[in-house]
Every structure is written in structure tokens, then in C-alpha cells.
Amino acid sequence: MKFSARSLFANALSGHENWPEQFPNKEPKKEYDVVIVGAGGHGLGAAYYLASKYGITNVAVVEKGWLGGGNTGRNTTIIRSNYLFDESARIYDHALDLWDGLSQELNYNVMYSKRGVLMLAHNVHDVQSFKRHVHANRLNGVDNVWLSPEECQKIVPFLDISQNRRYPVMGGAFQQRGGVARHDSVAWGYARGASKLGVDIIQNCKVIGIRRGADGAVEGVETEKGFIGAKKIGVSTAGNSSVLMEMAGLRFPLESYPLQALVSEPVKPIVPCVIMSNAVHAYISQSDKGELVIGAGTDQYTSYSQRGALHIVEHTIMSICEIFPIFRRMRMLRNWGGIVDVTPDRSPILGKTPVQGLYVNCGWGTGGFKATPGAADMLAYTIAHDAPHKINAPYNLDRFVGGRLIDEAAAAAVAH
Amino acid sequence: MMLIHCPYCDEKRPEIEFAYAGEAHIVRPNAAEQQAMDDVEWSKFMFIRDNKRGEHCERWWHANGCNMYFNAVRNTVTDKFIKSYKIGQKRPSAAQIQKWKDQANG
Ligand SMILES: Cc1cc2nc3c(=O)[nH]c(=O)nc-3n(C[C@H](O)[C@H](O)[C@H](O)COP(=O)(O)OP(=O)(O)OC[C@H]3O[C@@H](n4cnc5c(N)ncnc54)[C@H](O)[C@@H]3O)c2cc1C
Ligand SMILES: [Zn+2]
């Protein structure tokens, strides 16, 4: 079934009750060429690209809950690529290139909206560091421009740019190609696309072990629904990646923290782009339904609880009200948490592991939604070729031994 | 917000009085040991952490209280503290943790 104006119209006539199933729920076969663990955007995307780009269609995606129920369905959907380092520019910009044609390619509207991302500078340090980012980005061909306070206000009319505030707006960095996308659609679109190409998506099937042969290479995964054989396993389980790696006897430089977000009651369109204020730690955008979408910070302790503490949310709301007093009277409707896997340098680990046949895509922490198509493509490439692409080669595990860190943590000094 | 028992104050206080200080019982190598360590060992010391789903030994700092560091066992799935204990006390064995849990459940 292909979505088109005609199919929309025809289904409207029958009250939208006859749409066919988008992706069948499969029971596992005995064996696959590749098993992907984790049906988030990254895992589903990897399965899709394995089948569509790299010619491997005998693939299963195994998910412990429902697809898209992890961080993919819990994030604030900010997309941007204006990171400092060359390695980051390449991988995040690769993702942006793929975001561009994704809805057409999948014949599924992922609602990627290039409404722009504006990062506000509130002090001299911000100004200097953002300008440095702008220059570094331009050298890497990443669009990012420096704006004066007046230019910021042109984009965001309700922005108070008077300079006698506690956190005056001293300018901003603006990436027009940044924006948001609909998170669920990304998971559903990849799931539908992958299914069509023959990939089995197996939900409610937790992986509880990784079986290795006498030579150490992987033989398959033990799951709640029994053993599934595969010579190649790609793990893309975000906050649970340490747990999966431990099943293969590996210890990874990861810590898992709760990260929360919240949405307000829906209102008329007012926030024209994504607005971030790193210094005060407030970021906000508006969904197409009209809700303000607000991201909070991580809790201080490691956890797998998928919920965080209320004082973190309270702090976030205080920051939002400080920067945007116009929202003081808004009521918040829902808040929730996801578990994010954080590496010491805040850059992902994407590539081969010391175990033959085991590939990993993890450590995206607080900021991997934007990378979804890029990370998925790179994981698929690495699995298909048993070697990393040059874009993801720097994101190896060995950097924590050799010292070639990609230290976006120090570059941003906040969650990103 | 969690309530955390500080073994020095011997009181349960709200989490905002405390700062999390990472995995407990990581011993910093002394100068001679450091000389003998290779890159892989350094990497383990610097970057590799227990990131357990379940019972986790961790350090806390009663920053806005008595200013002391202490250790605690917490379940990272339920966020329930099983026991806080003073610095200097050894990493509890699985049996010890089970005993503490039984005591807590009375
Ligand atoms: C509140 C919040 C806000 C965020 N905001 C942003 C943002 O604005 N921009 C941005 O770029 N990023 C953001 N992120 C980060 C982003 O959500 C993640 O980096 C990204 O979605 C990770 O995608 P994934 O597909 O790897 O993981 P997930 O979607 O989490 O998928 C992993 C899947 O693995 C499954 N799994 C785990 N263990 C097992 C097992 N044993 N067996 C089988 N399956 C298993 C899980 O159930 C899950 O479905 C945010 C995250 C959170 C929590
Ligand atoms: Zn105390």
C-alpha cells in the first residue's frame, strides 16, 4: 500500500476504517543473517538500510517492549548538526542529508520541519564559544550563523532583548537546517519500510543473553521467545546498552541516567523555531498540535527507572519562565523520562566490538534523535562490510584507550 | 525526589541536600602502581564503570548537610536505597546486601 492523495481520499470515504496493517508483528524464525536488538529509530533504521542499501534482507529486529517505546518515543525531537568537532560535523550532517529526503523515501511523513534552531548567548563566554562554533561549522560546510539580539528578535518576536535582564540576550547562533521531526513517525516509517523489504519486527521479545561459540564469535541471541541464531548482531539499545554488552562479556564506558521532558497545554502557534538557552538550561519548541515541548536536564544519579525527580522539572520550568516570562501562566500537561546512555566524551560509540560478529551503536546519550538516519545508516554499513565507514570510524571503542576522544562534552558544557 | 539516609547524620534527608559522586569502591592507584599501568588499565580506571541494572554501590556527598562522603547500595531499577554505609567499610557481598534487604522488609 502506498500513501498518496488518492489513497487518503479513498480511505476518508470509508471513515479511515480500512487502512491495512502497516507492519506485521512477526514471530521469530530460527535464524537470520542479522539480528538487530532494539526497535528504536536507530535499530529500525539500521534494518531498513541493511535491506534497502546493503542488500541484506534476512534481518530481524528484536524489541523487548513495543517499537519506538524507548527514547525514540520520549525525546524532544530537536535536530541540528552544529557541533564543534570535525567528526561530529560529518556524522550529524550525514544525518541531516538523510532527514531531507526521508519522508519521500519512506513514503511516510516524518514531518521533518526545518524551522531552525536558535541558541541564545547570555554572557561573554557564550558569545565567544558560539562564535567559535559558527566558524568551525562554516569550515566544515555546516550552516550556522551568528545573529545580533535584534536579528534574534526578528525570528522570535516575543523574545525580550533588553540588556538589563538577569540573562540578557547578547546574540545567538542560528542553524536554519535544524528543526524538529515527528518521533513516532520516524519509528513507524522505518518499521513499515523495513517490513516491506522482508525484515521481521519482533516485539515483546526481550533479549536475555548473547550466545558465543568456542571461537568467541556470536552465534545468536537468547530471548524470551527462545534462541534466535545470527552470525551478526547489531545492538542499538540506548540506555540498556551496558546490560547488552555485559551479556557478551564486555564492559563499556557508559553510564545510564534519567532524562525528562514535558509538554504544556496546546496553544496557538507562537514559538517559530527551536530555542535553546544553554547557560540557563532551557530549551523549547512547539509541536504541530500546539503544545510547548520542553526538555529538562538529567538526574544526577544513574538509573533504569525511566522516570526522574520532580525537582529537576521544577528547575527547568523556572529557567523557562526566567527566559520567556510570557509562558508563566501556561499549564503543563505531561512529563516523562527516558534512560540515556552517556559516554565520558558525550559522543557515541558506533562500530565493531572486540567480539566477532557483534556490532554496537550506543552512547548517543541526551542527543541521538537528530542522528537517527545517519547512525542507522552507519550501523548498517558497518554490519554489512564488517568494517566501519569513514564517517563512523572515529567513534570506535578504542578511543577510550588511545585517547582520541571526541570531546563534545567539553565543547558544549551542557547536555545536548 | 529520593530520601537518602546519611550514615553520619543518621537521618533521612531530601535528595537535593546530596550530590551523587559515581560508582563506589574505585581505588585510585598510588604513584608506583600508576607507573606500572598500561593504557588499557588506565582506560578501565578512568572510564569503565559499573552501570548495573539492579543493585549498585555508589558514593554520595552530603554537600548541603554534614559535608561528608559516604557509600550506599541502591537498586537502579526502583531507585530504592537498600543501605547507606560509612567510608572505609568494604564493598558489601551479595549475601550482605540480601541480609540488609531482609532486615528492611522486616
Ligand atoms: C527526554 C529526552 C529528550 C531528548 N531530547 C532529544 C532531542 O531533543 N534531540 C535529540 O537529538 N535527542 C534527544 N534525546 C535522545 C534521543 O532520544 C536518543 O538518543 C535516541 O532516540 C536513541 O534512539 P535509539 O533508537 O538508539 O534508542 P531507543 O529508542 O531507546 O531504542 C532502544 C530500544 O531497545 C530496546 N531494548 C532495550 N533492552 C532490550 C533488550 N534486552 N532486548 C530487546 N530490546 C531491548 C528498548 O526497549 C528500546 O525500544 C532525548 C532523550 C530523552 C529521554
Ligand atoms: Zn550527613
How far is residue A118's CA from residue A108's CA, in Å, rounded to a whole number? 28
Q: What is the structure's pLDDT at A180?
A: 97
Distance between CA atoms of residues B83 and B99, nearest Å: 11
How many whole angstroms separate alpha carbon A14 and alpha carbon B23?
Answer: 59
Q: What is the per-residue pLDDT for B105?
A: 80
Tell me the domain boundaries of chain B: 3-104
Query: B19-23 and A282-286 as β-strands: parallel, antiparallel, unpaired?
Result: unpaired
pLDDT > 70 in chain B, percent:
100
Beta strands in A122-217 (DSSP E): 145-147, 171-175, 179-180, 200-202, 207-212
User: What is the rounded distance in angstroms from the CA atom of residue A66 to the CA atom of residue A165?
Assistant: 46
Q: Which domains does chain A have, with CATH numbers?
A: 24-108+182-253+345-412 (3.50.50.60), 117-178+256-342 (3.30.9.10)
Least distant ligand from the CA of A343: 1
Taking residues A152-166, what's their average pLDDT?
Answer: 96
Q: Nearest 5°: phi and psi at A327?
A: -95, 10
Could you say which ligand is closest to the alpha carbon of residue B86? 2
From A366, A377, A416, the mutation candidate for ligand 1 (largest count of ligand atoms within 8 A of CB) is A366
Q: Which of B1, B46, B51 sits opposite A302 (nearest CB)?
A: B51
Q: What is the pLDDT of residue A367?
A: 95
The CA angle A62-A353-A298, to the nearest 5 degrees, is 70
Angstrom distance (rounded) from CA B56 to CA B21: 13
% chain A with pLDDT above 70: 98
Of A369, A372, A408, A416, best ligand 1 pocket probe by most atoms within 8 Å of the beta carbon: A369
**Nearest chain B Cα distance for residue A226, angstroms:** 22
Ligand 1 pocket, residues with Cβ under 6 angstroms = A 37-43, 62-65, 69-72, 74-78, 206-207, 236-238, 240, 244, 259-261, 295, 338, 340, 364, 366-370
Q: How confident is the model at residue A175 (pLDDT cuts 50, 70, 90)?
A: very high
Q: Is B102 on the interface with A (CB under 8 A)?
A: no
Q: Does B49 contact A304 at a Cβ distance shorter than 8 Å?
A: no
Residue B90 phi/psi, 5-degree rounding, is -70, 160
CB atoms within 10 A of CB B17: 17
The complex scores an ipTM of 0.96
Mean per-residue pLDDT of chain A: 96
pLDDT band at A414 (very low <50, low <70, confident <90, very high): low
CB < 8 Å to A239, chain B: none
- What pLDDT is recorded for position A181? 97
**Residue B32 near residue B41 (C-beta atoms within 8 A):** no
Which has the closest alpha carbon to B26: B71, B86, B61, B93? B71
In B, minimum Cα distance to A314 occurs at: B1
Residue of chain B minimizing CA distance to A258: B76
Nearest-angstrom CA–CA distance, A12 and A7:
8
CATH topology of domain B3-104: Folate-binding fold (3.30.2270)
Considering only CB atoms, A303 lies closest to which of B40, B43, B76, namely B76
Contact A99, A373 (CB under 8 A): yes
Does residue B2 sit at the A interface (CB-CB below 8 Å)? yes
At A1 the pLDDT is 80
A352: CB partners within 8 A, 6+ apart: A358, A359, A382, A386, A387, A388, A396
pLDDT of residue A198: 97
pLDDT (0 to 100) of residue B17 = 98
B76 touches chain A (CB under 8 A): yes
Contact between A304 and B76 using a beta-carbon 8 Å cutoff? yes
Res B106: pLDDT: 73
Query: Would you place residue B104 in the very low, low, confident or very high pLDDT band (cuts 50, 70, 90)?
Result: confident
CB contact under 8 A, A254 and B76: no
pLDDT for A284 equals: 97
Length of chain B: 106
Mean pLDDT of A63-81: 97
Residue A110 has pLDDT above 60, yes or no: yes
Residue pLDDT, tens place only, A313-365: 999 999 999 999 999 999 999 999 999 999 999 999 999 999 999 999 999 99
pLDDT one-digit tens code per residue, B39-48:
999 999 999 9
Nearest CA to ligand 1 atom 39: A64
- Residues A5-56: tens digit of each pLDDT: 999 999 999 999 999 888 888 999 999 999 999 999 999 999 999 999 999 9
